[in-house]
Structure 1
Amino acid sequence: MNTSEISKLIERTGLKKQEVAIAIGVSVATLRRWEHGETAMPADKLQELKAIAGGKPAPRPLGSQKPATAVLAQVPAAALIEELARRTRSGQLKDNGSNHDTPASVT
């Protein structure tokens, strides 16, 4: 499928690119790469896009992505601390040494 056909399908959905990306389970950047021909669109994602463009319901509910803060708020603090420690030990996370100002104490 050529890039103009992908663009036409996206347009035919009547949705914003971000909404289309969420609906087919990819990032907006990936959707744009497919649209501009930088990478080939997998057949399963193309079928999902065609279905949405044809008026069928999206495979994933729109707006189903929670903001990262909402997701993190549901994780226990101990689990977050342990994950940070694990990533630090494995070298995935490094302290940049910046000193953050702490709020002044109220007297």
Structure 2
Amino acid sequence: MNEGKLKPLAVLAEKRYPALPNVPTVSEAGFNFTPTVYYGAYAPAGTPAAIVTRMGQLLATAAADPAVMKTMNAAGFAPLTESPKAFADRVTRDRAAWGPIAKSLGLSLE
């Protein structure tokens, strides 16, 4: 990732990526927004809360594993774990913020 072939201008995250510590975030680069790219685990509607909680715990444990962290950092990912409720809130906020823009462009979720 640090071979000097590309010069990254900013990362799309709230914090700098560990693999690219000298590359500013978008907001640090002077743009007035903080887009983030993230992956999450979803469960079908109606999944019992105990199962959702346990799944969150298992994912957090996996993300904290040094080998997993090393692999994710090498691929340019900065693992962030949060509670299922916090993740659901993040998705709700992002849909509210980006949904109208996507709709105006004729994009839709599938």
Report which of the two structures shows the higher radius of gyration computed on alpha carbons. 1
The answer to whether TM tops 0.5 is: no
Q: Taking CA–CA contacts closer than 8 Å with sequence separation of 6 or more, which of the two structures ends up with the larger relative contact order?
A: 1
TM-score range, shorter chain: under 0.3
TM-score (norm 2): 0.24
Higher helix share: 1
